[in-house]
Amino acid sequence: MLKKLLSALLLLIPPAFAATPPLQQSDTSQIKRVIYITLDGVRWQDIFKTHRYLPTFWEKYAKSAEIYGEPGTNRTMEVASVPISLPSYQSQMTGMVTQCHNNECSGLPVETLAEALIKKARLKKHEVASISCWEVMDNAFESRIGTAFSNHGTRPMHDPYTFEIDPIMKAINMQQAEAYPGDDTRTDEHTLAQSLHYLKKYQPKFLWISLGETDDHAHDGKLEEYHQTLRFYDLAIDKVVKLVKSLKLEGETMIIITTDHGRGNGKNWTEHDETMPEAKQTWAFVLNGKLENGIQDGKMHHYSTLSIRPTIEKVFGIK
């Protein structure tokens, strides 16, 4: 029953998903909000060597996107930190390589992007949000938990101020509790559902949607499940863009899609760590904008996880 209710509710976000044109590149001076989507541990080989895993993106959105990290082009993309999730996410949110070298690091001693958006761009708490499948994201998003709004791991969703739970949140909360995998993560399906509802209801100025089952499947050596999850991500991106259009926010919304790290080559594709330089190679897509802080070397332009924060801060006028 709950599954049917959740499906019915999601059909309302937006009411009709059919036949909408791609999000077009617009005047970036009009950009007022950013949706940041990270797909954990998705290797560049599955993005660029074949288009079979993100068919909707390549068919509908690639022509109007800025693309980074594609082999054979003059734009590279890499992890600035060690190619491990938490250090990478910390570098994205702080704009610097921190002292973190594994996923067991504690909180940050420096101001993060989220806190800068609230303090310097004067955004409100509900306007700066992070919804992640992974509880550990607390240690990347904020140095002081509660400055912005976060819903990470298996925590139930609620209103940022009153802590009340509306009917859609309640349905998804119950669904994710039933689907609890037994660790500190929530399924991508329910993370996406919470994100879509939050985007529709609160229309945040900055929303970070972090999905991660690809990395879990890769570590388990489950190639088919890994590829199936990529196809889910393809549909997820399409749903986010369509919702933005239904809310009539497409002309003022930048969408950045990227990953936290690559993976080893060949039989080592299941792993990623500081001993694998190939795992530092990543990728990014940007709709309605371009990445900042590229380093030019002749005809080449090099970007990294350190490009994320200045790109978003520029949108909100933070120097």
Could you tell me the domains of the chain?
A: 2-6+26-298+305-315 (3.40.720.10)
**DSSP letters for 252-293:** GEEEEEE-S----SGGGGG---TT-GGGGB--EEEESS--S-
pLDDT at 107: 84
Angstrom distance (rounded) from CA 45 to CA 175: 33
User: What is the average per-residue pLDDT within 251-263?
Assistant: 98
User: What is the average per-residue pLDDT within 146-162?
Assistant: 97
> pTM of this prediction?
0.92
Task: Tell me if 318 sits within 8 A of 117, measured CB to CB.
Answer: yes
CA distances from 51 to 42, 45, 54, 234 (A): 14, 10, 6, 11
What does pLDDT average to over the chain?
92
User: Is the confidence at residue 272, as pLDDT, over 80?
Assistant: yes
pLDDT at 315: 97
Look up tokens 């005047």; give the residue: 27
